[in-house]
Structure 1
Amino acid sequence: MSVMPADPHLPVAHLRPPRNWINDPNGLAFHEGHYHVCFQYNPYGPEHANMHWGHFRSPDLLTWEELPLALTPTPGGEDADGCFSGNAVSDGDRMVAFYSAFRTDRWAQPVTTAESRDNGVTWTPRGSLLIPEPPAGATMYRDPYVWREAGRWRMLVGSAQADGRAAALLYESEDLEHWDYRGPFLARTPQPVAPGADTGLGWECPQYLHANGRGALILSVWDPERGPRRTVVHPGREEAGRFLADAPVLLDHGPDFYAPALLPAPDGRWLLWGWSWEARDPEWVREVCWAGLLTLPREVTLAEDGSVRQRPAAELLGLRGERAVTAAGVTSGTAVLGTVGGSFDLTARLEPRGAGAAGSLRVVTSADGAEYLDIRVDPAAGELVVDRDHASLDPRAHGGTYRIPCPEAETTCDDPIELRLVVDRSVAELYLPSGRTLTLRFYPTGGSPWRIEARAAGGGHLGYAVGAWGLRPYTMQGTADAHAHRFRRRSHTEP
């Protein structure tokens, strides 16, 4: 069998198998000393089909072991056409996965379960449905999210309703087996959250972040005609089994982020992974035979004002290698700050100086400067503008300009703009001190090293202080055994 050459856009520090399709993170749990991260996975190609659950686990978020497939469709069973999205919980000496059982002969994706008693290495499906029938009025039903609170188990299921509203439906249980339906936890008609984005006609992958009497519902927006779109968050609080929501906002301001999932860590933190889909044409995806990746793990917190704040998990500082760039100064034109490889972790402090001054941080990926990713300060709008229109010379890569609110950008001198940018070959994750984020994909055609530049604009000066470190790969273990197990099962599961 011929071996495909490595794709230079395949990330080194973002979770995914070396080939084939992945999408939603699923089954996130901490159990017996390990973080478990599962995900929607097609073992047979780079298309959304044949949905299984792939599985990684780690003791420290830096060293990862690829385990055998967690969930596999059962021929003729309730999940015969796919093990779709859900989550997992740690319950004593076992892990229990809750997921959507997909069959093409029914419209709903009812909830079923599987259980592991060997720390995620093998899983036993229940073989029947846990919740066989959606409640009356549901026209979409999928993606259970289960958590323990105040001595009881609770579950949200994403849905759309016949009256045109999206809803997150609430169930409760004493034992994880017998569930009582409590009604909609939150139901909303579509409303705007940003230009071109609203809260949709249905909600997928509901997640509930809560602490100290406050909460935030994280909901992935689905539309029957346009499919998955953006992820929104509703801050608020619970009262008498209903969530009283404030105005929704975007969870991530980039174009390539969807279906995030939460993991409550043993130290009290909430961790979050999201799915970052491809931003290149399908023919290119078929050529390289992989699609999708999981974002970096993010620490998420609820601020006093109710906003959800995100930052890279603290452990990821351990992936920083040698410092590649150390630069500080002021420029009225273009300052070349140094070079980096295709995977790096960068911090920057930008300070436009003078009336009308602006500026940008640019990652130049071609020797002639024609290919670059640009992060511009827009003082008039109080935003950072991330421009990937020139980020790839390959016409099959998608362009676009995206904005992330940055109130500090409205000033000229007193409040410099700080940011952290993590780039891993074809994915860029931008983090601001406010906790806002922007995720996008881009596909440079030039080889590394890449050049970091500070560029002044608007007739003023740009002060800058930039540091960048090479990003080391995750340490991966167990991949060969997991792949062998996967393909031993192929003859039993491939349609």
Structure 2
Amino acid sequence: MSVMPADPHLPVAHLRPPSNWINDPNGLAFHNGHYHVCFQYNPYGPEHAHMHWGHFRSPDLLTWEELPVALTPTPGADDADGCFSGNAVSDGDRLIAFYSAFRTDRWAQPVTTAESRDNGVTWTPRGSLLIPEPPDGATMYRDPYVWREADRWRMLVGSAQANGRAAALLYESADLEEWEYRGPFLARVPQPVAPGADTGLGWECPQYLHANGRGALLIGAWDPELGPRRTVVYPGREQDGRFLAEAPSLLDHGPDFYAPALLPAPDGRWLLWGWSWEARDPEWVRESGWAGLLTLPREVTLAEDGSLRQQPAAELLALRDERAVTATGRTTATAVLGTVSPSFDLTARLEPRAADTTAGLRLVTSADGAEYLDIRIDPDAGELVVDRDHASLDPRAHGGTFRIPCPEATAASGVPVELRLVVDRSVAELYLPSGRTLTLRFYPTGGAPWQIEARTGGTGGLGYSVGAWNLRPYTMRYAASRRHPAAAAATSS
């Protein structure tokens, strides 16, 4: 059973239930032939409150089944005010979820667990805390991440420290029950990573990817006044229980990406999902009845230079439907390349012949051309600029321009700019061959189809080769007891 959204901004190829609030991906695991993806979930409305864990599973990353809510706060227990973020591991015949228990104190969220022995359908809470108290010096404490390494289990917990450092704290265990605190895996004072962004006063949602003697520590940069900011990656390597970090960088260069979670796949790949929050006013969110979505699953790899590279999971190529656009040529003004549906997958090779800050692609989403999303080449900065200032005619949508490093974009590089853009109604994910990404939300008010244009104002013109495919939706089976009425009206088998 597939549910096609009636709301024109509700995605068809990004995971989320048809209604209500979601945020961080949690509980990612591969168990008994299924990928399990949980997430922070408010089953009662589109606000950040009443945190449960929603739950989907899939055998192939394309066909998804919504399972019953995995974790529910227990009245009077340590998680009475919310089951907050964490992860899950497959251990024999059981799935074990590790999560932050929230009761009254928003800063200290001790670690507890729940387990499932029926492939994630039902979960039994531990009923007590696994790690009752944070170590001395922690002023914020949350979000366990557990993984198996050789003959031991290891855990990172995000924190802020009284000495002004943010830290990922390391624990180890032989049996998932008794945990020894080993100290900070990495601790840092705030460091700049991009204009207006630093590594934060505290860290949440730590994740650790490691391969071939190298590693990458992913953290959510957090501020006690401003809350979650951006996601940062530290490349480096481990030595004696400490992470020897190199210079940090942004994991995603967009404004609407946070709290990614890793899943080690059975074929040796590392997969990653992130949370993409809303970029529209709360009034509109309440009217729509839903907030937040999970990004596409991304394959992440460690490059030889230590950088973390991301691309859409290979399975997603199967979502490509008919090829909607095939265009090759050169323009000195504007070339209309074709039309696409509001969910599409595009690849482009762009060759500007002269320094021109207007050269690039435009996605026109209204019949009069007044509503559009621009991707421009900045040859002076060696960046791509994604401009959503005109991406919605509704004034409640947020605007802004955002930049992603792209050395090929420099005027002197002589190398074509290549990119992949996946758009799904109200979310755009931009991928470069370097592995850099940019994720943002936008809210077109015009109807389908949308028009793809190549544009330039330079005398040298812009060479282009563009292909675009409309996207088929995920095959979704939602829990019948809580399907969204508007979405149910558009159900197709």
Q: TM-score range by the shorter chain?
A: over 0.9
Query: For residue 415 of structure 2, what is the amino acid of its counterpart?
Result: D
Distance 2:451 2:284 in 1: 26
What is the identity, as a one-letter code, of the residue corresponding to 2:228? P
Q: Retained in 2: the 8 A contact 1:68–1:482?
A: no
- Please name the residue that 1:234 is paired with: 234
Amino acid of the structure 2 residue aligned with 1:41: Y
1:136 matched to 2:163: no
Counterpart of 1:332? 332
Deviation at 1:456, TM superposition (A): 1.2
Letter in 2 for 1:308: L
> What is the CA-CA distance between 1:151 and the residue it aligns to?
1.1
* 2-structure distance, mates of 1:407, 1:268: 30
Q: Which residue of 1 aligns with 2:473?
A: 473
Alignment deviations for residues 413-459 of structure 1 (CA, whole Å, 9 cap, x no partner): 73100000000000000000000000000000000100000001233
The corresponding residue for 2:205 is 205
Matched, 1:216 2:216: yes
Where does residue 127 of structure 1 map in the other structure? 127
Find the counterpart in structure 2 of residue 390 from structure 1: 390
Q: 5 Å matches for 1:73-472?
A: 73-105=73-105, 107-354=107-354, 356=356, 359-411=359-411, 414-472=414-472
Amino acid aligned to 1:361: L
Q: Secondary structure at the match of 2:279?
A: coil
Identify which range, 135-144 or 403-412, moves more after superposition: 403-412
Counterpart contact for 1:358–1:379, Cα < 8 Å: no
Aligned residues: 481
Tell me which residue corresponds to 1:12.
12
Matches of 1:338 and 1:161, distance apart in 2: 54
Instruction: Give the fraction of aligned pairs with identical amino acids, expressed as a percent.
Output: 86
Match of 1:99, SS state, is strand
Distance 1:261 1:401, change over 3 A: same
Look up the equivalent residue of 1:205 and give its one-letter code.
Answer: C
The answer to whether the Cα contact below 8 Å between 2:357 and 2:376 also exists between their aligned partners in 1 is no
In structure 2, runs of 5+ residues without a counterpart are 485-493
State the distance in 2 between where 1:459 and 1:425 align: 34
Aligned residue number for residue 489 of structure 2: none
Amino acid at match of 1:40: Q
The answer to whether the 8 A contact 2:357-2:378 is kept is no
TM-score between the two structures when normalised by the length of structure 2: 0.96
Deviation at residue 354 of structure 1 after TM alignment: 3.1
Change (3 A) 1:110 1:467: same
Quick check: 1:68–1:483 contact (8 Å CA) kept in 2? no
What are the superposed Cα offsets for residues 387-434 of structure 1, whole Å, 9 maximum, x if unpaired?
000000000000000000000001467310000000000000000000
**Partner Cα distance (1:144, 1:12) in 2:** 30
Decide whether the 8 Å contact of 1:342 with 1:450 is kept in 2.
yes
Can you list the C-alpha shifts for 1:275-314, whole angstroms capped at 9, x where unaligned? Answer: 0000000000000110000000000000000000000000
One-letter amino acid of the structure 2 residue matched with residue 352 of structure 1: P
The code of the aligned residue for 2:438 comes to L
CA deviation profile, 1:310-345 (whole Å, cap 9, x unmatched): 000000001000100000000000000000010000
Residue 41 of structure 1 and its aligned partner are, at CA, apart by 0.1
Measured after TM superposition, the shift of residue 150 of structure 1 is: 1.6
For 1:170-213, what per-residue CA distance to the aligned partner results, in whole angstroms no more than 9, with x for missing partners?
00000000000000000000010000000000000000010010
Provide Cα deviations, 1:17-58, integer angstroms capped at 9, x if missing partner.
000000000000000000000000000000000000000000
* Aligned structure 1 segments of 4 or more residues deviating by more than 4 angstroms: 355-358, 481-484
Aligned to 2:488: none
Paired with 2:360 and 2:479, the residues of 1 have a C-alpha distance of 41
CA–CA distance in structure 2, aligned partners of residues 15 and 409 of structure 1: 33
User: 3-state DSSP class of the match of 1:218?
Assistant: strand
Taking the aligned partners of 2:135 and 2:357, their CA distance within structure 1 comes to 57
Q: CA deviation at 1:483?
A: 5.3
Cα contact 1:24–1:274 (8 A) shared by 2: yes
For 1:356 and 1:104, the matched residues in 2 are separated by 55
SS of 2:9's equivalent? coil
Measure the CA separation in 2 of the matches of 1:82 and 1:296: 26
1:388 and 1:426 map into 2 onto residues whose CA distance is: 12
Partner of 1:489: none
- Rounded Cα–Cα distance in structure 1 between residues aligned with 2:168 and 2:106: 20
Counterpart code for 1:427? V
CA contact 2:356–2:377 (8 Å) conserved in 1 = no
Q: What CA RMSD, in Å, does the superposition of the two structures yield over aligned residues?
A: 1.4
Q: Indicate conservation of the 8 Å contact 1:358/1:460, yes or no.
A: no
Residues in 2 aligned to 1:459 and 1:434: alpha-carbon distance in whole angstroms:
29
Q: CA deviation at 1:106?
A: 6.7
CA shift, 1:260, in A, is 0.2
Moved more, 356-365 or 200-209: 356-365
Deviation (angstroms), 1:357: 7.2
Secondary structure of 1:238 counterpart = strand
Residues in 2 aligned to 1:470 and 1:14: alpha-carbon distance in whole angstroms: 14
Decide whether aligned partners of structure 1 residues 482 and 34 sit closer, same or farther in structure 2, where only a CA change above 3 A counts. Answer: farther
TM-score where L is the length of structure 1: 0.96
Q: 1:424 to 1:168 in 2, by over 3 A?
A: same
In 2: Cα distance, 1:387 partner to 1:460 partner: 23
CA distance in 2, matches of 1:136, 1:475: 48
SS at match of 2:359: strand
Partner of residue 487, structure 1: none
Quote the Cα distance in structure 2 between the aligned partners of 1:156 and 1:477: 34
**1:136 offset after TM fit, Å?**
0.2
| Whole-angstrom CA distance in 1 between matches of 2:292 and 2:86 | 18
Amino acid at match of 1:163: N
